[in-house]
A = this chain, B = another copy of it.
Amino acid sequence: MEQSVDMSDGATSVSNSGRRRVRKAEAGPDLGGAAVASGGDVEQHIYQTVFDSVLNQRLTPGTKLPEPALCELFGVSRAVIRKVLQRLEHERIVELRPNKGAVIAAPTPEETRQIFEARRALEVSIVEIAARRHTAKDLADLRKLLAHEHEVTHNLYQPAWAACAREFHLRIAAVAGNPILTNYLTELMTRCSLIVALYQPTGNAACEHAEHGRIVDYMEKGDVASARAEMGRHLRALEDNISLDRGSSTQSLAQMLNLG
């Protein structure tokens, strides 16, 4: 039995990067969340829906994404679906196996190690730049995020405070002010979501929250080196939560089975 595509509840904010063109009213069921508006960014809408579904773990690694199914789900032709799938493939969110269908990517243990190493390499540099460049408003915004994070610490629904944590890391990247690095980080964090969905680590929200707080503290003090070091420790702790469960191959193997 195979998993099926669902992705209801498109509860996202992301503003549509302005495009125009009004072609025709929708012909399909028009599901996914927000109303299909322009017609040209239907592509963006579909991408965002799949993307968010992955982040919220409604689409888990190994799930098949048949083109005909997506076509009638979104009421579009295969051309646009294939375009979206190719984009998702380039971002390593889906894997396009020639003549064998598209599936949500399932990072291997080795890939997991590489992803976390790359994220550490990137994010320590990002936090260093952010620590040098931050303004008073930046710190205030980060503190506000930390406060919100504290509120949802005890939320048992994992994707809820996972999104909160992502927002924190993304905000630091925004403070650094380099959209290229932000894009790379976004890509790596998305793949981290896949890893979490695959290996289901026992994340400690309170612990993560404390580490986030220390990072901001160091930034505020202007202690660049310590901010770097703390971010490195934080990311290594995240990876360790995965690595521990990686040894027990039961989950990994089970996932491998319903993949093929």
A83 at the interface (CB under 8 A from B): yes
Residues 210-247 of A at the B interface (beta carbon under 8 Å): none
For A, the interface residue count at a CB cutoff of 8 angstroms equals 25
Digitize A108-132: 1 where CB-to-B-CB distance is under 8 Å, 0 elsewhere. Answer: 0000001101101110111011000
Q: How far is the CA of A83 from the CA of B121 in the complex (A)?
A: 31
A66 at the interface (CB under 8 A from B): no
Q: Which one, A3-11, A147-155, A176-184, is touching chain B?
A: A176-184
What residue in chain B is nearest A83 (Cβ atoms)?
B86
Q: Which of B83, B98, B125 contacts A122, CB < 8 Å?
A: B125
Count of identical protomers in the assembly: 2
Digitize A143-163: 1 where CB-to-B-CB distance is under 8 Å, 0 elsewhere. Answer: 000000000000000000000
Q: How far is the CA of A124 from the CA of B124 in the complex (A)?
A: 11
Q: Is the CB of B121 within 8 A of A181?
A: yes
Q: Which residues of B contact A124 (CB under 8 A)?
A: 125
Q: Is the CB of A129 within 8 A of B114?
A: no
From A115, A125, A128, A129, name the one whose CB has the most chain B CB atoms within 10 angstroms.
A125
Q: Which of B40, B98, B180 contacts A118, CB < 8 Å?
A: B180
Q: Which residues of B contact A121 (CB under 8 A)?
A: 122, 125-126, 128-129, 178, 181
What residue in chain B is nearest A126 (Cβ atoms)?
B121
Q: Is the CB of B179 within 8 A of A114?
A: yes
User: Which 3 residue pairs of A and B lie closest in terms of their CB atoms, listed nearest first?
Assistant: A121-B125, A118-B180, A90-B90
Offer 18 A-B interface pairs, CB within 8 angstroms, sorted by A: A19-B98, A40-B98, A83-B86, A90-B90, A114-B179, A114-B180, A117-B181, A118-B178, A118-B180, A118-B181, A120-B125, A121-B122, A121-B125, A121-B128, A121-B178, A121-B181, A125-B125, A180-B188
15 more A-B residue pairs beyond the given contacts A118-B178, A121-B126, A180-B188, with a C-beta to C-beta distance below 8 A = A19-B98, A83-B86, A90-B90, A114-B178, A114-B180, A115-B180, A117-B178, A118-B180, A118-B181, A118-B184, A120-B125, A121-B129, A121-B178, A124-B125, A125-B125
* A→B interface (CB under 8 Å): 19, 40, 83, 86-87, 90, 98, 114-115, 117-118, 120-122, 124-126, 128-129, 178-181, 184, 188
